[in-house]
Amino acid sequence: MRTPIVAGNWKMNLTHQGATDLARGIAEGCPENGVTAIVAPVALHIPAVAEVLAASPVLLASQNMHWAESGACTGELAGPMLREFSVRYVILGHSERRQFFGETDEGVNRKAQAALAQGMHPIICLGESLQEREADRTQAKVEFQLRAAFAGLTADEAQRTIVAYEPIWAIGTGKTASPQQAQDVHALLRSVLEDRFDRQTAQAIPILYGGSVKPANFAELLAGEDIDGGLVGGASLKVESFLELTRIALGS
Ligand code: PGA
């Protein structure tokens, strides 16, 4: 069985005080077992949040990283720097980065390989736009992004990777994919992973849903056989709603 995951993507939000308060509240109330809770603060807040989370079951993610280990890359962050602060996960290819910061499928793949080489777990985001959904191109789009992100990975590396299906039209809009729409895409993604690797590998890879996840809709999304958790933006910014999501995941 795949352990359910609740991953909070804090995006470019919160002050230093706000981030450490939120982390403390989550650390205090998070279930010890049965759910993997992850938070992704802005890079600047990672050291302080790492300290708050040190003795808790809550794990840390970065919202991005560069594929190089060091070098002339102004404004970027390298994997070894993140590892120094106990960062175990890295969100890659979020649609906001693809849309506004020129992130490409090839770049996502290079970053995933670099993260794996650092012993980190990439959380690879993919999903279709509203236009693509309406043009019936959802399957082609997500399959293409998935295959590109996993290019060159071994089955063992693939099993240390997480996928997050985030339909772009559902992010921050209050519109969620229906549980059936989400499950259909998740099942497709798992079948592509099985085709690319093997059944056991495909079954081991967690596939999260993201896009306006909140306590009111999480249980029905998690009921989907191939939906293993959520990558959550807005609803991860309040202690109570994040903790509620972890409790729902625990009961799923
Ligand atoms: P949202 O964001 O939950 O605010 O829609 C999800 C995401 O972008 O990961």
pLDDT in tens, 29-46: 999 999 999 999 999 999
Architecture category of domain 5-250 in CATH: Alpha-Beta Barrel (3.20)
- Please indicate whether residue 245, judged by its CB atom, sits closer than 6 Å to ligand 1: no
What integer pLDDT is reported at residue 252 of this predicted model? 83
pLDDT < 50 regions, the chain: none
Domain boundaries, the chain: 5-250
CA 95 – CA 103 distance, rounded (Å): 9
Instruction: Give the three-state DSSP class for 105.
Output: helix
Q: What is the pTM of this model?
A: 0.98
Nearest to 196 by CA among 147, 161, 149, 245: 147
Both tokens of 74, joined, read 């102004």
Measured from the CB, is residue 215 less than 6 Å from ligand 1?
A: no
**Cα 115 to ligand 1 centre (Å):** 22
Take atom 6 of ligand 1 and give the residue whose Cα is closest. Answer: 233
- Report the b/e string of 160-184 with b at 16+ CB within 10 A: bbbbbbbbbbbbeeeebbebebbbb
